[in-house]
Amino acid sequence: MLYADVLLPFPLAGHFTYRVPEAMSKTLEPGMRVVVQFGTKKLYTGLVVALHENRPSVAVKDILDQFDTIPIVNQIQFDFWKWMAAYYLCTEGEVMNVALPPMMKMSSETIVSLNTETDLGNYQFDDAEYRILSILQQEGTVSVGKLTGGSSRLMRVVKKLIDKNAIVHQEQLETAFKPRFIKVYTLPVEYRQDPMRLHTLLDLLAKKAPKQAEVMNVILHYQNHIKESHEVVPRATILNEIKHAEGPLKTLTEKGYLLEGTQIVSRLPLSEPLASAGDVKLTDQQKQAFELILQQSPAMKPVLLHGITSSGKTEIYIKLIDETLKQGRQVLYLLPEIALTTQIISRLRHYFGNVVGVYHSRYGEAARAEVWNKVVAWNPPGSRPYTAHSIILGARSSLFLPYRNLGLIIVDEEHDSSYKQQDPNPRYHARDSAVYLATLHGARVVLGSATPSVESYFNAEQDKYTLVELTKRYGNVNLPRVEVADMRAFKKKEQFQGHFSRQLLEAIDESLKNREQVILFLNRRGFAHRVECPQCHWVPGCRHCDVTLIYHKHENNLRCHYCGYSEKVASQCPVCRHPMLSLVGFGTEKVEEDLQLIYPDARIERMDLDTTQRKDSFHRLISNFEKGKTDILTGTQMVTKGLDFENVSLVGILNADNMIFFPDFRAYERSYQLMAQVSGRAGRKNKRGKVIIQTHQPDHEVIRFVCNNDYPNMYARQMEERQSFSYPPFVRLVKISLKHKEQEVLDKASGVLAARLRKAFPRMVLGPEYPLVSRIQNMFIKEILIKLKRDQTLNDSKQTLLTVIHGFQKNRQHPPVKIVVDVDPQ
């Protein structure tokens, strides 16, 4: 008798054992999906982790259906998930839940609808499939449980429809970046590799079915014309060339003379490489760094590539990628936010063409499943290039793709805090996870940054990482001159307009006069920071969260940046009835409006979360700026990241103080990184740029470090602080958040848990305390911080921690509270 241990997408620890029916015993393998019943009625797809003959002590249910004929998850992935669950104190089921594209983990609760992007007329459906499709047509969205009535046979029908792209998961929240699919055709490999066979076929068709022969010839002509390896031909191209080619295409496909497939149309046209990575000529310093990385020993120790902005880190990555592909291995290139990839994608496609795939969670479901399959389709040398991706460029979720042989992982902008997943579990850090994933593959890891995180730099000092440095900008372009605008002085002399000092305005004047571009950075979106009653100082706050609402002029409303709640601005103060409320503080929207008043002729654009919601808006903003259609770009963090423009002569940092004085132990490090990164956008090609930092604290050490581009001293000062107050990298933090609707319940429960933790971890527990925002979406929050030693006992400590928490949840004298454990919180 054969049994399977199955992993289910739940927060429950462990695997669940099911009996393997005779019929599946020959075909089932670990890594395949199966349908099982869990609980009384619900059906889930789970993953077979292991097969064995150990009869369980309790009665077990049968597996109801087998979904896959080849494994979709490999052993390395299982090992990776296991490590992640153990390190971040969550379950493998939770990791699986985040790792698999939603379309691959269907359950009774999954909500599906018709895929409006697929032309259903192109497919043939059987009766069962038709029945499901017509229910969806009538009802719009339906749960899989309702569609199938709990039948695993019908669940398989739903799965087939998902594979055909006919139906989609309703989790598709964001439509930004949604890719488009087109139909493409190519010849089967036996005809492509065997010219004789192809000729015989063409002769035969020419005699018997001339129209089909014509279609074949168009495809062949197209392929020969644009270099042979570009093997797929879009359907539209064929229909353009030949009238009424639909029928012949269908027949040819049915007979197996043509292969039909879908391809994601990127916003950037897919293309053959325009150049070879061999064409990249590294500078002496770059070459030295490149060789250091290649020859570093032990071979697979992570490398921290600390290169100042514009030093050409990307060129080194390109060379490393080329080396790795030559060895027949895969490459993962991680970026903190996919929005940034537009420029990098085109640079990589320039050298590597279509083997570059892009993956991130903002893509639609179908697209993600498609990329997943293209990584599964990867085969060491000899794989068909149009079906497989050997380079993946992606955000943190691309760590989970089914790689079989990664040779290189690049973590670009490794210091970026968006590498950390905040919610839900697993709350993993993609950089640290990448380092572990690399050990599983025996891959090289390169962490790159102009402003490394204190943690990584410390690891380099401790010789856990190898430090490789680039100290010169490419072409010896000078670093920008950084000036400080002392807002106190300007305010005293009334030399300011809106939120701009005279110093900054004069610099903007000059840039505009020279037809150069300006970037203005402010880490706060919205119009005014808040609305306030000038008489009694009442400030409207969010109903559900403990924060003030932010005024957005465009919609003329007040919005909560934590939960999205919005309301109209009151016409009078609800407390003292004062008839006029005033706007206090400022955000990017206000900056944009003020600028337009000061510079009525300048072309000004704003880039922040509000202006980049719509499809392609990010791409449009960047491309307008690149083409010189924008004079001034204002925005939040987004403008600081990795963008490379040639004509920017001035960068203004509008309010450095609200970064520096943010109450967090990483605030100094973060503000240094942000300011240094945004400064790096100035004067990149042929002219020295200028940066102006507006602040009320011109003598603050962080400002001084930025002015002198003094990373080493910033690091040294931070290390002193972290050591004396016991913060990372000297300790490991674990943050435990407790949440409940009632404050009293929360206070009591968190007090009890903290007391138990103190017993287990004497002198290592802080709190419970209310965080900066103590209520979000009607839930009060309290946090307990544990500082664990960085040594061998770390794993034991984590286990102890779990035991305490589980004990607390089990025998309690209070209503249940929600507990979130965050290892290495950011």
CB contact burial 389-421 (16+ within 10 A = b; e otherwise):
bbbbbbbbbbbbbbbbbbbbbbbbbbbbebbbb
Q: Is 299 helix (H, G, I), strand (E, B) or coil?
A: coil
Give the nearer residue to ligand ADP in terms of CB position, either 117 or 644.
Answer: 644
Q: Which does residue 286 touch among Zn ion, ligand ADP, none (CB within 5 to 8 A, set by kind)?
A: ligand ADP
Distance of CA 695 to the CA centre of its chain: 32
Q: Tell me whether residue 306 or residue 374 sits nearer to ligand ADP (CB atom).
A: 306
The one among 125, 565, 645, 770 contacting Zn ion by CB under 5 A: 565
Q: 46 pairs with which residues across the strands?
A: 34
Residues 6+ apart with CB under 8 A from 373: none
In this structure, the dihedral spanned by the alpha carbons of residues 303, 305, 306 and 307, taken in order and rounded to 10 degrees, is 170
**Residue 129: other Cβ atoms inside 10 A:** 18
Asked whether position 683 contacts ligand ADP by CB under 6 A, the answer is no
Q: Segment 629-648, which members bind ligand ADP (CB under 6 A)?
A: 644
**Binding residue (CB under 6 A) for ligand ADP from 186, 311, 695, 737:** 311
Q: Which is nearer to Zn ion, 560 or 604 (CB)?
A: 560
Q: x/- string (CB under 6 A) for ligand ADP, residues 266-305?
A: --------------xxxx--x-------------------
Q: What is the distance between the terminal CA atoms of the chain, rounded to a whole angstrom?
A: 48
Task: Identify the CA nearest to 824 among candidates 19, 59, 152, 89.
Answer: 89
Cα dihedral sign, 161-167-173-174: positive
CB of 413 to ligand ADP, least distance (A): 9
What whole-number distance in Å separates Cα of residue 79 and Cα of residue 539? 51
Closest CA to 340 of 649, 637, 691: 637
Mark residue 197 as left, alpha or beta (left: phi above 0; alpha: psi -120 to 50; beta: remaining): alpha
Residue 185 within binding range of ligand ADP, rule CB under 6 A: no
Which of residues 312, 587, 728, 767 is near ligand ADP by CB under 6 A?
A: 312
Does 535 help bind Zn ion (rule: CB under 5 A)?
yes
Q: Least separation, in Å, of the C-beta of 227 and ligand ADP?
A: 25
Closest CB to ligand ADP among residues 182, 280: 280
Q: What is the DSSP letter of 523?
A: S
Question: What residues numbered 441-480 form the site for ligand ADP, per CB under 6 A?
Answer: 474
Distance, CA of 158 to CA of 162 (rounded, Å) = 6
Q: Using CB distances below 5 to 8 A depending on partner kind, what does residue 536 bind out of Zn ion, ligand ADP, none?
A: Zn ion
For ligand ADP, which residue of 19, 313, 444, 690 counts as binding (CB under 6 A)?
Answer: 313
Please give the helix or strand (H or E) that residue 295 lies within, else none.
Answer: helix 284-295
Q: Which is nearer to Zn ion, 709 or 777 (CB)?
A: 777
Q: Which is nearer to Zn ion, 573 or 643 (CB)?
A: 573
Contact between 368 and ligand ADP per CB under 6 A: no
Nearer to Zn ion, 406 or 573 (CB): 573
Point out which span in 94-102, 309-317, 354-362, 513-521 binds ligand ADP (CB under 6 A): 309-317
Among Zn ion, ligand ADP, none, residue 274 binds (CB under 5-8 Å by kind): none
Residue 505's φ and ψ, nearest 5 degrees, are -65, -40
Check if the beta carbon of residue 152 is closer than 8 Å to that of residue 43: yes
Piece of 50-58, 267-275, 278-286, 565-573 that binds Zn ion (CB under 5 A): 565-573
Question: What is the C-alpha to C-alpha distance for residues 237 and 234, in angstroms, rounded to an integer?
Answer: 5
Minimum CB–partner distance for residue 318 and ligand ADP (Å)? 9
Stretch that binds Zn ion, among 111-119, 541-549, 588-596, 764-772 (CB under 5 A): 541-549
Judge whether 633 and 625 are in contact, CB under 8 Å. Answer: yes
Side chain identity at residue 806, one-letter code = H
- Rounded to whole angstroms, how far apart are CA atoms 349 and 328? 18
Interface residue with Zn ion among 147, 332, 533, 784 (CB under 5 A) is 533
Q: Is 212 in the site for ligand ADP (CB under 6 A)?
A: no
Q: What does the binding site for Zn ion look like in residue numbers (CB under 5 A)?
A: 533, 535-536, 538, 542, 544-545, 560, 562-563, 565, 573, 575-576, 578
Q: What does the binding site for ligand ADP look like in residue numbers (CB under 6 A)?
A: 280-283, 286, 307, 309-315, 474, 644
